[in-house]
Amino acid sequence: MGITFLKSTLANILNRKGSARKPQDEKEGIKSFKENQKAQEAVDRRDLGFREIPLRQIVGSVGRYRDFDSQFRLKKDRPSERLDRVKEAFRQGKGLPPVKLYRIKDEYYVLDGNHRVAAAKEFGWTQIEANIIEYLPSKETLDNILYREKANFERQTGLYDSIELTEVGQFPYLLRQIKEHQLSLEQVTGTNVSLDSVAKDWFDTIYRPFAAIIQRAQLGEAFPTRTMADLYAYTSFHQWEKGRKRKYGIGLDELIPKSMEKFRAKVAEKEGFEFPEMKRVITAFLLINVEAGREDRIMEKLFAYQEVQEIHFVPGDFDIIAKIAVEQDYLSSDSEVIGQFLHDKVRRMPGVIKTQTIIPISSKRKRGS
């Protein structure tokens, strides 16, 4: 009896250790659609049709969430014949029908095609074609209100997963922009233009170029919790709706006209998204005092910088005069850009005693010079 008890105790210990070593994601399953539907109070539904979606966003199943682990791998105690047939079809390149998914916010749940999803994930696919039915959350939270605004925007414009905003009320504002653009296009063409085609034109000829300017200006670095669409909505609202004067160094009006349609016309004159205005160069003159005997060495080091166009050793109160041209983003003032250059590349140079900067108010230049 003692030996039997000892064997039983030892077996239990080993089983517990085996369970402890078992990866957590094998014990856990994928998410249940019904549980999330209840939590989100998602009742209203709409058909989103067919599209390719990221596999990483498929997180659960409608009816078979207990059959797969959290990585969407078939659990070892479940029959694998169906999965094996699907994987073999993938290997042979046989076409399989799109999977059917339910969507709640940014998560997808498999209605039909669990094994196809499991095989696609195992084979390292990133996208899969799906027929999607979306369930809209009705629970009154700010997050859900924002999502419903996004859903309405996408339904009317067809711009699915293209715009991400973090503030309630911004999607309706962008929709108003698109409808204003629709009126403008219809006046130009003299014909009715569908809202979804207008939305695509707005996205390509207004939103993306405007966003490119914001990105070049590195505005996102100042507001890391905001999306590009947030910055676009805020900046375009104050430029086109309120017309405020901003203290953005060279002035936003030089880059973005006061009218949305004038901005679009300006974009049409450019090739791609390379705006010469975004590469505006500031010219300045640096007057530098240096320690005696170091003039030549400092001149050589300064002249190696791309920004330094000319450099001269002169008699008088200062020892060196340098002409520099520094590229500027539209949110920085002239003094900020020049000051950064001085701090990073001039004042830290051994032997530099004192500097003074002259920024021209206006300039004239003869041709060829």
pLDDT band at 309 (very low <50, low <70, confident <90, very high): very high
- Check pLDDT > 70 for residue 36: yes
Judge whether 165 and 230 are in contact, CB under 8 Å.
Answer: yes
- Check pLDDT > 80 for residue 184: yes
> Is this model's pTM higher than 0.95 or not?
no
- Return the SS3 of 132: strand
Model confidence over 231-282: pLDDT tens digits?
A: 999 888 888 876 544 444 344 555 677 778 887 776 666 544 444 444 567 8
Judge whether 41 and 137 are in contact, CB under 8 Å.
Answer: yes
> What pLDDT does 56 receive?
94
Phi-psi region of 249 (alpha: psi -120 to 50; beta: other; left: phi over 0): left
The mean pLDDT value of the chain amounts to 83
Q: What is the CATH number of domain 280-358?
A: 3.30.70.920
> What pLDDT does 264 receive?
76
Judge whether 124 and 93 are in contact, CB under 8 Å.
Answer: no
- Return the SS3 of 68: strand
CA distance 159 to 154: 5
Judge whether 180 and 141 are in contact, CB under 8 Å.
Answer: no
Phi-psi region of 124 (alpha: psi -120 to 50; beta: other; left: phi over 0): left
CA distance 96 to 314: 79
Domain 27-139 has CATH 3.90.550.10: no
* Phi and psi at residue 284, to the nearest 5°: -150, 160
* Phi and psi at residue 110, to the nearest 5°: -80, 120
pLDDT band at 368 (very low <50, low <70, confident <90, very high): low
User: Mean pLDDT over residues 61-77, rounded?
Assistant: 92
The sign of the torsion formed by the CA atoms of 56, 59, 63, 64 equals positive
* Phi and psi at residue 109, to the nearest 5°: -130, 135
Residues 6+ apart with CB under 8 A from 345: 305, 307
pLDDT band at 217 (very low <50, low <70, confident <90, very high): confident
> What pLDDT does 243 receive?
58
Question: How far from the centroid of its chain's Cα atoms is residue 178's Cα?
Answer: 21
User: Mean pLDDT over residues 42-55, rounded?
Assistant: 91
- Check pLDDT > 90 for residue 286: yes
Model confidence over 315-332: pLDDT tens digits?
A: 999 999 999 998 765 445
> What pLDDT does 275 receive?
44
Task: Give the angle subtended at the CA of 248 by the CAs of 245 and 251, to the nearest 5°.
Answer: 65
* Phi and psi at residue 25, to the nearest 5°: -70, -15
Judge whether 186 and 207 are in contact, CB under 8 Å.
Answer: no
Domain boundaries, the chain: 27-139, 170-277, 280-358
% of the chain exceeding 70 in pLDDT: 81
Model confidence over 82-140: pLDDT tens digits?
A: 999 999 999 998 888 999 999 999 899 999 999 999 999 999 999 999 999 999 998 88
